[in-house]
Amino acid sequence: MEFKKFKAATVQTSPVFLNVEKTIDKAISFVKEAANNGARLIAFPEVFVAGYPYWNWIMTPVQGSKWYEELYKASVDVAGPDIKRLCQAAKDNDIQIVIGINERGKSYGEIYNTNLIIDNKGVIIGKHRKLVPTWAEKLTWSSGDGSSLKVYDTEVGPIGTLACGENTNTLARYTLLTQGELIHIANYISLPVAPADYNMAEAIKIRAAAHSFEGKLFTIVSCSTISQEIMDALKPDVPNVEELLTRKNSAFSGFIGPNGAVIGEPLIDDEGMIYADIDLAKCIQPKQMHDILGHYNRFDIFDLRVNIAPTKNITFINNHEEFNKR
C-alpha cells in the first residue's frame, strides 16, 4: 500500500465581492503561488466565488432581497467558462483545488453553497452541495442532497469536504469517513455577527480537531475574511456595518493532524496562505486505539443508512405508456 506524502496549502482571504471574473483571477494567482512553492493541494474558503450573503445577518429579509438578486447574477454554472479557467489552472500547475462557489440552479430562486473538487488534470471530480444552510443562510441557499456525500480519489489521496456548519453534523462526517476519507477540507466564512460570547475562530478549530481525532485523518481548514470592500458595499443599507462585521477571532485557517492537534501556526483573522507537509501514513497508528470504522464500534447495535439518491423536483409518468408496457 502507498500512503502519500505531499505539501498542502490553505488560503484565508476575501473574494472580490460579487465579481466572479476578478475573484477567479485572485484564486488563480494563489494557485500559481502555491504550486511554485511545491504544494499539490490548495483549499479555498466557503463560497469564495464570489461572496457570502452577509446581508442575511444585518438586514431584514426585505432589505436583503435586492442583494439576493445580485448574488444570483454573480452565481456560476459549474460547466461555465469561469470554472473552466480554474480547471485549466489546476492542470497547468499540477495541483488539486477545493473551492467554494455559489452554484446557480435552474430556477431563479435556486442557489447552492457548493464545494468543487478539481483534480490536477483539470477535471471536476466532485461537487458537494451544503446539506443544510445554517441559520440566516436559509434566506439564500437551497439544500443539497445525499448524492454529494462522497470521497474522491486523487493523486494525493482520498479527499472529502463539508462546508462550514455542516462540519458539526456527525452523521455527515461519519458518512465520509466510511468511504476512506484521509484528507478532509472544511471551509468557512468569517462570522463576526455571532453572539458576543461566541469565538468563531475557536469554534472552527474545535470542529476540525474533533473530525481529525475521531477519524484519525488530516483536516485542512480554509476561511474567508471580510474586506473593507464588502463593508463599503453594504454600508448604504447598514450605516453601522463596520460595528457589525468587525470583531477579533472571527476567522481560522490551518491544518489539523490525525491526533487532533494543530500543525504549525494557523491564521487567525489575518489574510494569507500557509502550508503544511502531509504524511498520510500517520493516519494508521492512531486507529489502533480508536477505529470507529472497525474494531471500536458496534455495528450490531448501530445502523446508519444514507439516501444517496439525487433530489428531483418532478417525476413525469405516462400512464398510457406504462399500461402498454405490461
Helix (H) or strand (E) holding 258, with range, is none
For the record, the C-alpha cell of 170 comes out as 456527525
The torsion angles phi and psi of 72, rounded to 5 degrees, stand at -60, -45
Query: 188: Cβ–Cβ under 8 A, 6 or more apart, which residues?
Result: 45, 46, 163, 164, 204, 221, 222, 223, 224, 251, 252
Distance from first CA to last CA of the chain, Å, rounded? 51
Strands 272-279 and 96-104 come out as unpaired
Of 97, 51, 106, 57, nearest in space to 77 by CA: 106
Q: Are 246 and 192 in contact (CB under 8 A)?
A: yes
Catalytic-labelled residue, pool 21, 46, 181, 265: 46
Amino acid at 216: K
Query: 114: Cβ–Cβ under 8 A, 6 or more apart, which residues?
Result: 78, 100, 101, 102, 103, 127, 128, 129, 130, 144
For the record, the C-alpha cell of 267 comes out as 491564521
- Catalytic annotation on 137? no
Q: Give catalytic residue positions.
A: 46
